[in-house]
Structure 1
Amino acid sequence: MIKLIIVDDHAMVRSGLRMLLSSKEDIEVAAEASEGDEGIQAALEYRPDVVLMDLSMPHGKDGLTAASELKQQLPDVAILILTMHDDDEYLFRAIHAGASGYVLKNAPHEELLTAIRSVAKGDAYLYPTATKRLMNEYVDRLSRGESTDQYDTLSEREKEVLELAAKGYSNKEIAEQLIISVKTVETHKSNVMEKLGLKSRPELIKFAMKKGLLQFE
């Protein structure tokens, strides 16, 4: 059973989505929210597998901000963006915010259901034309000689946490060095593992070695 939360500022949209999704045997709509902060609180309370998130919610926190904050607090939740914006800028910003998928509101119901089931099991989902645009962007970057290294997707803080973790420092020691909380360190480590596709500490150390990060003073 896929536990899901709907976050959209339009009550009629939420009602229609609940009706559609609740009719499926493998999907449970646990809660609804009308803006980003409500969505985050609902996710923290119900711990869903998937959060179905609108982008434009003018009366509260927008979907991109909420998605980014939610991934910091619940790294394992899959965020599926459901929006009317068929726009490259929104698409890339959603992916950068940690979204696992991006679907247009005018898509057929079956596409939405496929997207939900895909992100729930850990896969990514983009609508077909978006996938093509991403591939074109990748090819363009290669042709311009720009980096496509996953390491470059990490923030500066995440790179610092990666290096210290690979060197064997504990979460508490990393927190003391970077003057952040242990919980923040744990969140950064989780984001690093997810972005780099790593499953274990040995894999993290191996990656750090390949990047030349294990230079001890």
Structure 2
Amino acid sequence: GAIEDFSIDPVTYEPMIFTIGDVSPKGICGSGLITMTAVMFEMGVINNRGKFNRDLDTPRIRKKNDVWEYVLAWKDQTQIDRDIALTEPDIDNLIRAKGAIYSGCLTLLEEVGLTMDMVEHIILAGGFGSYIDLEKAMTIGLLPEIDPDCVTFIGNGSLMGARMSSLTNRIRKDVVEVTKKMTNFELSETPSYMDNYVAAMFLPHTEIEKFPKLKKRMENT
């Protein structure tokens, strides 16, 4: 019942939602939150700070308990007998999280003399990563713009690595060698990290030029 996919009518701003199990909604999953934020941003429902466009003529955008929100499903359409809405604090929390991830990666690259433009391959681990819409993740600035074919999902990478190293001596030796080369890097002690973080606290980023494909789409809408 968690909402996992989402689209908006460009004229009426009415939503079309898709849930896990194709049943009435009862909440929002993480990948769904990424998709909603990306779609709303490209459709002009929210601005680059994640704030709703108060001028749109739709009952879906409202202020409730001093919080602006977009109603995804009215209570008679849900399993929980109350409206399901995406709030500005929800979006703000997502922006903070994606900003930390993007700026962390950028800072690490800068410390070894590289840039985001030089990234050729991204490996996403964890079960959650397998459900992320890559284009939408790039739209909000969670990931840099890269050919989706250059992104690999590996699921539970730590469990896979533990299993492989326990079964194969060669891989176990590789693990030992890699471990010797690892170092601890404290982002909080790196001056450029906070600057990168602040810059990433927008959709997709304060420097839209870092996302040329999105910039072109936005200019054509």
TM-score, scaled to structure 2: 0.28
Q: Which has the higher contact order (CA 8 A, sep 6+)?
A: 2
- With normalisation by structure 1, the TM-score equals 0.28
**Largest Rg, 1 or 2:** 2
Higher helix share: 1
